[in-house]
Amino acid sequence: MTEEVQKHSVHTLVFRSLKRTHDMFIADQGNTPAKDPKCELLKRKLKVADEYALVKDMPKEGGNKMHNKDVIKPLDENSWNGSQDPSILGTHPYPTGSGVQLTDGSSMHTDPSKSSSMEMALYEKNRMMDTPAGSGVHDIRQSHIDRSDPSKALVAIGNQQALVPRKAPTMPKPSWHPPWKLYRVISGHLGWVRCVAVEPGNQWFATGAGDRMIKIWDLASGTLKLSLTGHISSVRGLCVSPRQPYLFSCSEDKQVRCWDLEYNKTTRHYHGHLSAVYALDLHPTIDVLVTCGRDGTARVWDVRSKACVHTLTGHNNTVASVKCQASEPQVITGSHDCTIRLWDLAMGRSRATLTNHKKSVRAVALHPTQYSFASGSPDNIKQWKFPDGNFIQNLSGHNSIINALALNSDGVLVSGADNGSMHFWDWRTGYNFQRIQAAAQPGSIDSESGIFAMTYDQSGSRLITAEADKTIKIYKEDETATEESHPLNWRPDIQRKKRY
């Protein structure tokens, strides 16, 4: 016969469970566990050994201040006897070089002076270092000074030597550049002007905009020569071939087109990008086109066969800029993942990754004559040296989203930003010699004064900017300016170069 289980309410059952738990754990609640004597003893020993090991054993009274190993002895092994007292004979406390004997007829030096003790300590410290064999105490002291404090120099004053502070490195005086001024504004596009390219003959230049149009303008007069239609989204990149009558364009519609300028028609399409294509560049010596975009890749195309030779993968965000050059590394990309990659074109893989930037790298500019380049980011503009991407210096002060960089053979670097500001820099010293705030054209709001692209013409004397107020602005150097009328506002500040 089964017993009937007495039914209780849920409240009663919960209360009983709570009471059982309370009775079980309340007995030693809050009490610390008992201490183990062995553990306590071991803990004290470890603490003493860790914190007081250097001072817990007192030195013996009346002993020699210097042990046998701390004294420099003459290097003549025949005259050495291990049973001798650890002291030095002679009027000179220590020999000045290899194998120099002490003078005779002098008292024993059993208690070296303070300066001698310091020299002995120097000897011990430098004995394991790369001091040449047979060096004397003077040489050891000299090498120790040279290593210990690079900010001080040893200068001879009479017969003595003294440590004096080295002269702090200062920024070299920058080269004088005439200021730049606006001399032409060209209107014609119906959307943001996103890219600009100058043809190798320096007769005309092309612009692409958010109105899906590519327009070709006469460089001398600024008049419209031609409009090309075909893209179905904003045109983001242009490049003119120096060897064929071809114009290459890329767009947010994933298309890369080759325009034959003899027929003004598209003759080739390069299919492969999975998203918007943001930039492109032609290789200067071989018929290769490199494009990059929002799919995080840069693609290398054979111009004639339209084949994708390489897909350069490695960036994990939008690749915003790409540049090509004849020498290694032949392809350079800047990305929104804050890195710059230098690519081996033959192997199709990255040979170096520069991670110094902290924010998106939207612009890269190559120096036309030197083996170096610059990259632009909201945190800094940085200069780099090829082929390994060694850091040269920071160009700080343009605190905005830098969309474009341009560099001419005179060493004038220009950075253009999203807020319409332009900074002109001396390439050698990194000195910012001019700042311009681009004015939005009448009818535009102030927030439309952004600069999306800029380039110099082939002579380096005209600067063409593509802006958010739907205009193209052309700047030139002020011919009337001289060093007297526009002096350098520069003083030799102490140089604080960052290491990265």
Please tell me the distance from the alpha carbon of residue 368 to that of residue 456, in angstroms, as a whole number. Answer: 11
pLDDT band at 268 (very low <50, low <70, confident <90, very high): very high
Q: What is the CATH number of domain 180-191+210-228+359-480?
A: 2.130.10.10
H/E element, 466? strand 462-467
CATH 2.130.10.10 occupies which residues in the chain? Answer: 180-191+210-228+359-480, 230-355
**Which class for 130: exposed (0-12), middle (13-18), buried (19 or more C-beta within 10 A)?**
exposed
For the chain, give the mean pLDDT.
Answer: 82
**Sign of CA pseudo-dihedral 216, 222, 225, 226:** positive
Q: From 219, 270, 226, select the one nearest 249 (Cα to Cα).
A: 270
CATH topology of domain 230-355: Methylamine Dehydrogenase; Chain H (2.130.10)
Predicted local distance difference test score (pLDDT) of residue 21: 83
Please tell me the distance from the alpha carbon of residue 189 to that of residue 234, in angstroms, as a whole number. Answer: 12
pTM: 0.67
Predicted local distance difference test score (pLDDT) of residue 445: 78
415 in Cβ contact with 405 (< 8 Å): yes
Torsion angles phi and psi, residue 18, rounded to 5: -65, -40
Predicted local distance difference test score (pLDDT) of residue 115: 47
Contacts of residue 270, defined as CB under 8 A and 6 or more positions apart, other chains included, come to 256, 257, 258, 289, 291, 299, 301, 306, 308
Do β-strands 412-417 and 402-407 pair in parallel, antiparallel, or remain unpaired?
antiparallel
For 412-469, the pLDDT digits (tens) are 999 999 999 999 999 999 999 999 998 888 888 777 889 999 999 999 999 999 999 9
108 in Cβ contact with 93 (< 8 Å): no
Do β-strands 363-366 and 340-344 pair in parallel, antiparallel, or remain unpaired?
unpaired
Q: Would the pLDDT of 122 be above 50?
A: no
Contacts of residue 119, defined as CB under 8 A and 6 or more positions apart, other chains included, come to 93, 94, 137, 141
Percentage of the chain modeled with pLDDT above 70: 74
Q: Would the pLDDT of 299 be above 90?
A: yes
For 44-77, the pLDDT digits (tens) are 888 888 888 777 776 665 555 544 444 444 544 4
H/E element, 279? strand 277-282
Predicted local distance difference test score (pLDDT) of residue 80: 47
Average pLDDT over residues 267-277: 95
Q: Would the pLDDT of 209 be above 50?
A: yes
